[in-house]
A and B are shown apart, each in its own frame.
Chain A
Amino acid sequence: MRACQDADPEAQRELYECYKTKVYSLAFYLSGDAELAKDLTQEIFLKVFRDLRAFRFESSFGSWLYRLATNTCLNALRSRRTRREVGIEEVTGTAAEIDADSLLEQQQVDRSIQRAVRKAMLSLKPPLRAVVVLRYIENLSYGEIAEALSCSVGTVAARLSRAHRLLERKLHSSQRAVS
């Protein structure tokens, strides 16, 4: 980390490899758009390497990274509100995923459910979606989410509860269709 602060290219690459999956997954599930997720991941890491020099290890690096990443994604989504378009693959899965679907019937059902879940998550407003993604995709604790979103643990719990109520409605019809 110290080497990254000195802009050591190898250390930067190592840090990127270490966190790329988490950052890209966060961007993908928050934006629902693979191409935008790539752009956001790039932007987030550029900000990380730029701002890392000012990081003084007074908080955990993970929390700092998640705060920066979530804010970057939410800001981008906010600015894109005026030009909304939903790509087909956002909710149906990529061609590779669809090919994989045909392997086994059970896998196919699992994929259908996953798609329905992803679709339902995408229907949430970005601030609620952020809590859900941080909790269930990134596996953060309530405390870590609170730190990443600069809010209280109580707020995190309230947002998760609200998100579940909305997801329940969205998933109800999908699950009925799958079963």
Chain B
Amino acid sequence: MNFCFLISRRLVAYGEGEVSPHERAPIEAHLEGCARCRERVRQIRQRTDLMRQLPLLDPADELWDAVAGNLSASRWPEPLGEASSGRRLSSSHQWLLRPAAIAAALFIIATALLLASRSGLLPGSHKGELNLAGYLNLVGTVAAAEPALREFPAAPGFTKVSWTEARATVAFPVIAPETLPGGYQLTAVRLYTRGDLRALQFKYRSEQSALCVFQLPSGSKLSIGERPSEQYQADGVSCQRARSQNCVLYRFALGETQCALMMRPTDPAVVDALIQAFKAEAGLSQARSVVSQSDTKQPLLQPAAEFKLPDLDGQQVSSADLRGSVIVLDFWATWCGPCLAEIPTFNSLHAKYAGRGVKLIGIAVQSGWAEDIKPYRDKYKVAYSTLIGDDEVVEKYNVVGFPTTYILDRDFKVHRKFTGELLDRKDLEREIESLLATHRSEPHEQKGTPQ
């Protein structure tokens, strides 16, 4: 048994033929007489074969356009690390040349920034400026190669964030409906942070095409370069329109939010419908803002989808049974690390609010049957009800990632949706408290104010 322990760390290398001959002999001698280690080697080889069967994947064709676009837009400084000159200077000479090198580096950086600000996405020399000229050109190039424009290239400087983080980071009202006319669905939120400037990019996709919308505070400068632009009226919203090859940008302001809608050239009626949708959503945002400030009631809630799902004991639970309580619905999966990490938070929320008319329900999806889920319930000591979700409920609730948490009011209407792991449980508590404080018969705003 001791020898089993000693060679266990070498069995993978042995199974892959990566041990030396003098090491192999004693391992093989041991394997002759040890069925358990032989079985382990068999399993290692089987696992290895499985992993080797995973396919290599090709990136989308338009990725090169994005790389090439960035290459042409960038002026890379000389790389650090290995020196490009063949001869090394003595340390005394390096010391003498250091101020000159610093001055030269500063000059190169300043020039690169100047070039980038003129042609690329980087903010310009003015504080709080976002320059979309370079990105407009880049998207135009991609659109030329990809007529459907199914995927927007990555906008330099923007990083993918969850809705929760996006809302928590920006100070302006976010105007981003989850769906837009033409079958567009919100697929990604990206955040740009530079100095004091915070901007968001929302990517939408339909079956045929894609579009994106940038948003930033109305006080920040949004530049679209020196290209000629024209005025455009869409549903009473005054826009400034700029074009690149195969791409068009509409810049408009809605309240305190500046928007830039970017898409392939399309029918003006479609553009009008899209901008109208943002205008309508902005109205809701403003209403939400007013509600939060003055306690004015605004009847704008949407009913949550009905469902009937089994719990882990096989009992059917219907959404109708849940009416009358504030509901926290957590869509999770047993293989999702962030979901499991959230369970203690939900346990403590359950302990705190169960007696105050709040029902916390976990809906485990894509996690197998009750017997597959029960070990996780026991291991993580899940104190609240767990239902076994199916594809239908995932689709109805538009769950595109795990964890996703819904808060529903006592009338079973959607109050707030969180996607991704909750960074601060106080966000959830605040929403629950606001619903508990509201009288049952009174209507509430559709979503939480993103402040």
State the A residues within 8 Å of B (CB): 7, 9, 12-13, 16-17, 20-22, 24-25, 28-29, 35-39, 41-42, 45-46, 49-51, 53-56, 82-88, 91-92, 110, 113-114, 117-119, 121, 123, 132, 136-137, 139, 142, 157-158, 160-161, 164, 167-168, 171, 173, 177
Q: Are A49 and B421 also in contact (CB < 8 A) when A13-B64, A157-B13 are?
A: no
Q: In the complex the two chains form, what is the Cα distance from A132 to B13 in whole Å?
A: 13
Q: Is the CB of A12 within 8 A of B401?
A: no
Chain B hits for A137, CB < 8 A: 51-52, 54, 56
> Is B48 at the interface (CB under 8 A from chain A)?
yes
Residues of B within 8 A of A (CB): 8-13, 18, 43-44, 47-48, 50-54, 56-60, 63-64, 66-68, 70-71, 74, 76, 78-79, 81-84, 151, 153-154, 160-162, 165, 188, 333, 335-339, 341, 366, 368, 372, 394, 399-403, 419-421, 423
**Across the interface, do A86 and B337 meet the contact criterion of CB distance under 8 Å?**
yes
List 21 A-B pairs, Cβ < 8 Å: A12-B68, A16-B64, A16-B67, A24-B59, A25-B56, A35-B160, A41-B63, A42-B153, A85-B419, A87-B401, A88-B399, A91-B335, A92-B366, A113-B50, A123-B337, A136-B54, A158-B9, A161-B8, A168-B43, A171-B47, A173-B372
- CB-CB < 8 A to B47: which residues of A? 117, 164, 167-168, 171
Partner of A38 from B10, B154, B339 at Cβ < 8 Å: B154
Could you count the A-B residue pairs with CB atoms below 8 Å apart for me: how many are there?
A: 158
B19 nearest CB neighbor, chain A only:
A157
CB-based nearest B residue for A7: B71
Nearest 10 CB-CB pairings of A with B: A85-B420, A136-B51, A24-B59, A84-B338, A54-B82, A54-B79, A50-B76, A25-B56, A51-B79, A161-B12
Alpha-carbon separation in the docked complex, A82 to B54 (Å): 29
Assess the B338–A85 pair: CB atoms within 8 A. Answer: yes
The interface residues of chain B lying within 8 Å CB-to-CB of A7 are 71
- Give the residues in chain B near A88, CB-CB below 8 Å: 366, 394, 399-402
**A86, A136, A177: the one within 8 Å of B338 (CB):** A86
Q: B50 to chain A: closest CB distance in Å? A: 5
CB distance from A95 to the nearest CB of B (A): 11
Picked from A17, A86, A158, A177, the residue with its CB within 8 Å of the CB of B368 is A177
A84 CB contact (under 8 Å) in B12, B151, B337, B394 = B337
Contact of B335 among A13, A113, A119, A160 (CB under 8 A): A119
Which residues of the other chain, B, contact A91 by a CB distance below 8 angstroms?
335, 366
CB distance from B68 to the nearest CB of A (A): 7
Residues on the B chain within 8 Å of A84, using CB: 337-338, 341, 420-421
How far is the CB of B376 from the nearest CB of chain A, in Å? 11
What residue in chain A is nearest B163 (Cβ atoms)? Answer: A85
Whether the Cβ atoms of A83 and B165 lie closer than 8 Å is yes
CB of A113, distance to nearest CB on chain B (Å): 6
CB-based contact A86/B336 at 8 Å = yes
Q: Are A46 and B400 in contact (CB under 8 A)?
A: no
Q: Once the chains bind, are A114 and B337 in contact (CB under 8 Å)?
A: no
Q: Are A9 and B68 in contact (CB under 8 A)?
A: yes
Assess whether A86 is in contact with B71, with CB atoms less than 8 Å apart. no
Given the contacts A83-B421, A161-B10, A173-B372, A136 and B48 also touching, CB distance less than 8 Å: yes
Give A120 to B54 CA distance when docked, in angstroms: 13
Q: Assess whether B57 is in contact with A21, with CB atoms less than 8 Å apart.
A: yes
A38 and B12 CA atoms in complex are apart in Å by 32
A38 touches B59 (CB 8 A): yes
Contact status B338-A117, CB under 8 Å? no
Q: List chain B residues, Cβ under 8 A from A142.
A: 13, 18
Q: A20-B63, A53-B79 are in contact. List 20 more A-B contacts (CB 8 A).
A: A17-B64, A20-B58, A24-B58, A38-B59, A41-B63, A46-B67, A46-B71, A49-B71, A85-B402, A85-B419, A86-B338, A114-B50, A114-B54, A121-B51, A142-B18, A157-B9, A160-B12, A160-B13, A161-B13, A164-B47
Contacts of A39 in B (CB 8 A): 154, 160
Name the A residues within 8 Å of B83 (CB-CB). 54
CB contact between B52 and one of A20, A136, A157 (< 8 Å): that residue: A136
The residue of chain A having its C-beta at the shortest distance from the C-beta of B57 within the complex is A25
Q: Is A114 within 8 A of B67, CB to CB?
A: no
CA distance A101 to B451 in the complex (A): 44
> Which chain A positions have C-beta within 8 A of B337?
84, 86, 123
Q: Report the separation of the CA atoms of residues A121 and B67 in the bound assembly, to the nearest whole angstrom.
A: 29
Chain A residues with CB below 8 A from B63, complex form: 20, 24, 38, 41-42
**Interface pair B74/A117, CB less than 8 Å apart:** no
Let me know if A45 and B67 touch, CB within 8 A: yes
Q: Given the complex of chains A and B, what is the CA–CA distance between A20 and B391 in angstroms?
A: 34
Indicate if the CB atoms of B54 and A118 lie closer than 8 Å.
yes
Other-chain residue from B48, B162, B403 in contact with A83 (beta carbon distance below 8 A): B162
